[in-house]
Chains A and B, each alone.
Chain A
Amino acid sequence: MAAEPEKKIEELLHAYSRKRREDAGAPLEPHPATRRMLQGEVARQFKAGAASSASPRPWWKTLLLFGPKYAGAIGMFAILALGVWVITQQDHDSRSAREVVSQQTAAADADASRSLEESAKRSSEQLREVDDLAGIRPARPESLNKKAEGTKGRADVLEDQEKVQLRDAENRPAPSAAPARPELKVAEQLGREKQVMLQRQEEAGQKIAEAVAGGSVLSKDKSAVLAGEAVGVQENRFYKLNDGKGDTIVPPPAVNQPITAGLDFAAAKPTSDVQLGYSARLVTNAGGTEGAAGFYRGVNLAVTATTNAPSQASLSFADGFAVPMSEWSAVIEPTKNEIAGARVLSNVTQEFEERERMTPALLRKFSVEQNNGRIRIRDAEDGSVYDGEVLAASESNVAAKEATDELRRLRRSAADARSTPVTFRASGVNQRSKQVVIINGELSDEQERIAGVAGRLITETPAAPAAPAQTVTAPATVTPPADLAAAGQRAQAGAVRQPQGQTRAAPVTTTAGVAVTGTTAAGRSNQLFGATTLRARVQIGATNELNMRAIRTK
């Protein structure tokens, strides 16, 4: 390249370069100010660098250098990793728990099947024994065999139930080896569920009472009522109820009436038809979660009864535990139904006790006084007084009612005429329970008429000898006074009407049959009081209500 001849432009460039160098003059030197400025920049630049190189940067500062985006991503990743770890741990725990439960279930199934077989065998033997003792069924062998087969079939069903229950009970603590203390479960079930059937309590209770040995344990009022209706609809609820509340209720202390295991099965013969389309087992709640019936270990009082063959009803104990009878319950399973379930029926004793406890002794004996538009009910037992007034109908209703009554008067004879019911509302404080009682009711002579029609009159004693002088018998055509009409009090023909301002009172009794001896108010005769029946809806406190029907007695 050096050998190549220079171009003209190159010569010019070299000449230009020389010219500019000559023009530049003395070589440039950095001015002291420029040098200080550059040194200052050097100090700033390399001081920071030296400081940063002297101490290593912490790792978290390095992380911060990545910026908030990377920090957020790292945080999300950490949360995700934590969540995956938690899920993995839970899955591992549940898997191990399932393994343990499956082992326990297998063992429990084996025990339950053995127990069910024994129970079925025992039931068939007991059936045979009962029938032999009672001599009811001559063709015992064949029917017994069929019954035993049926029992076995039911045993299969029970086995299925047992499995269901055992599965439900997997998560509960294992039952103790010793027989558990009897626990009151039926009451809780009754309180929470309306599955309890109380129909035909007399006959069903009687059957069961007679079926039990000696009849000393089960009485008419301590018996289960086996009702066929509505059974087999919600069988599974039984399990849920028992499972949920079974271990928490303590039995009442005073109801121990033990049942002995040695039953006289001859007495198990029912005396009348049991209208059941089910086979039933009475299961005591003696505690525990195992048993031949698949519900609880303890005494299993099994009753089998069918509609077509009531004589086959029997009672048997799978175990010989003494159980308070107030704690047993009935379990019914449908025989013709495909539903493999059971249902808890009532413990009637507890139901009655519960009702007795909840129902206050209110207005079992009382007297009613009416003074014009005012009405007063006096409880003869506790002295509570409930004051109120006769309710007046609205004007339009009054007019319509008058027209209707007029029409009735024209149509009916004087003998058929009757008084219009008098509605009233009274309130006061019950002296015993210290609760406000509000009574909405009506007074009428309904009972008299019903009794007259039925031919079984509720006898009303004649008035006291001095009373007839005050008695005013209203003629059929008498028009009631305006004030009485306005007050809604309509005395009709045949009714006893009292002059204005006079107090009328009548002792009454309730339909419960409690003998009532009424006391007349203020010494007045009750003959002036025409109503014989009092129907009322009584509100006690804020929540309780009861319907009351009372008839007048002397």
Chain B
Amino acid sequence: MLQSMAELGEAELLARCRKGESDAWDALFDRHYAAAGRFIFQLGYDLTREDVDEICQEVFLTVVKNLHTFQGNCQFQTWLFRIAANKTRDYRQKQTAAKRGGGQVTLSLHQNSDDPDGFVIDPPSSAPGPDLSLIQSENILLVGEALEQLGGPCQEIIELRYFADLSYEEIARSLDLNMKTVSSRLSKCLDKLEAVAKALISREKKSPTSV
């Protein structure tokens, strides 16, 4: 059954999902869950798999509730990525606020426990680990931070273009923009991102690493 559902076209699959067929929904989850997770993982340089899993739950819940609003103007995955980008942004803002207020760290309920007694809670330290420090030492990883600092429409269009690998045409349809507008906006946003990244890199070079 799942095999046959996997062979269905996207439009037909969505039609069945709109009818409430659970098999169709399962097929839809299987088809897009990994891609959404991979996309979400790129949206934050410090996001963990648990974070991504939680964000993915929120994304697909939103899809279930709002599938009837999907008009088919763009591909379903494009629509899904936009939801994922918004949810990731909300999640990160919430996470930042929690950290700022000394809030609690979210723990995954699905984490397997090595302790036979079930005592599995081992909160990770909010301080960057040794590997992350090594990564941060590399300029590449500063791009993610710079992108996060950039924020706004520039962050969104850059994410769609370079993390979701959408074409200009897809981005234009998704954001309801002209292709030339997408091109020019993307160019300007890259310039801004470069400026922010340079600032970050120069700051990193000046400051000694914590390791």
Contacts and interface: CB of A to CB of B under 8 A. Distances in A.
Q: Do A and B come from one complex?
A: yes
Nearest to B34: A27
Given A38-B60, A41-B65, A9 B20 contact: no
Contacts of A482: none
Question: What is the interface of chain B mostly: helix, strand, loop, or mixed?
Answer: helix
B41 A13 contact: no
B14 interface: no
Given A1-B183, A28-B52, A30-B33, A13 B110 contact: no
A45 interface: yes
Interface string A455-492: 00000000000000000000000000000000000000
B143 A24 contact: no
Interface in B1-47: 17-20, 22, 25-26, 29-30, 33-34, 36-38, 41-42, 45
A10 B189 CA distance: 11
B162 A10 contact: yes
Interface in A285-339: none
B204 interface: no
B143 A16 contact: yes
A216 interface: no
Given A41-B61, A41-B64, A42-B22, A7 B194 contact: yes
B64 A38 contact: yes
B163 A7 contact: no
A9 B193 contact: yes
A61 interface: no
B140 A31 contact: no
B62 to A, nearest CB: 10
A42 to B, nearest CB: 5
B190 interface: yes
Interface residues of A, number: 36
B25 A38 contact: yes
Contacts of B20: 42-43, 45-47, 49-50
A356 interface: no
A29 to B, nearest CB: 6
A20 B144 contact: yes
A488 B18 CA distance: 117
A314 to B, nearest CB: 105
B28 to A, nearest CB: 10
Contacts of B65: 41, 45
B194 A24 contact: no
A39 B162 CA distance: 32
A19 B191 CA distance: 22
B149 to A, nearest CB: 14
In which size bucket is the chain B interface?
Answer: 35 or more
A13 B61 CA distance: 30
Nearest to B108: A31
A23 interface: yes
A69 interface: no
A37 B57 contact: yes
A28 to B, nearest CB: 3
B85 interface: no
B139 interface: yes
A41 B144 CA distance: 34
Contacts of B163: 17, 20
A13 B64 contact: no
B56 interface: yes
A396 interface: no
Contacts of A47: 20
Contact of A24 (B41, B60, B109): B41
Question: What is the interface of chain A mostly: helix, strand, loop, or mixed?
Answer: helix
From A9, A34, A49, A50, residue with most partner B Cβ within 10 Å: A9
Contacts of B22: 39, 42-43
Given A1-B168, A38-B64, A39-B26, A21 B41 contact: yes
Nearest to A15: B140
Contact of A34 (B57, B158, B162): B57
A10 B190 CA distance: 8
B38 A28 contact: yes
B49 interface: yes
Contacts of B29: 30, 35, 38
B56 A20 contact: no
A27 B57 contact: no
Nearest to A39: B22
A14 interface: yes
Contacts of A7: 190, 194
B141 interface: yes
Contacts of B162: 10, 13-14, 17
B45 A20 contact: yes
B197 interface: yes
Nearest to A34: B57
Contact of A28 (B53, B143, B183, B194): B53
A9 B143 CA distance: 8
A13 B57 contact: no
Contacts of A23: 41
Contacts of A14: 162
B34 A46 contact: no
Contacts of A45: 20, 64-65
Interface in A19-75: 19-21, 23-25, 27-31, 33-35, 37-39, 41-43, 45-47, 49-50
A155 B124 CA distance: 124
A21 to B, nearest CB: 6
A192 interface: no
Contacts of A20: 41-42, 45, 144, 163
A323 B88 CA distance: 114
A8 interface: yes
B140 A25 contact: no
A12 interface: yes
Given A28-B53, A43-B20, A50-B20, A9 B197 contact: yes
A13 B183 contact: no
A21 B38 contact: yes
A29 B34 contact: yes
Nearest to A12: B143
A7 B186 CA distance: 12
B140 A24 contact: no
A33 B25 contact: no
Contact of A35 (B26, B37, B141): B26
From A1, A7, A16, A28, residue with most partner B Cβ within 10 Å: A16
Interface string B134-148: 010001110110010
14 contacts: A12-B197, A13-B147, A13-B162, A16-B140, A24-B52, A27-B38, A28-B37, A28-B38, A29-B34, A30-B30, A35-B26, A35-B29, A42-B20, A45-B64
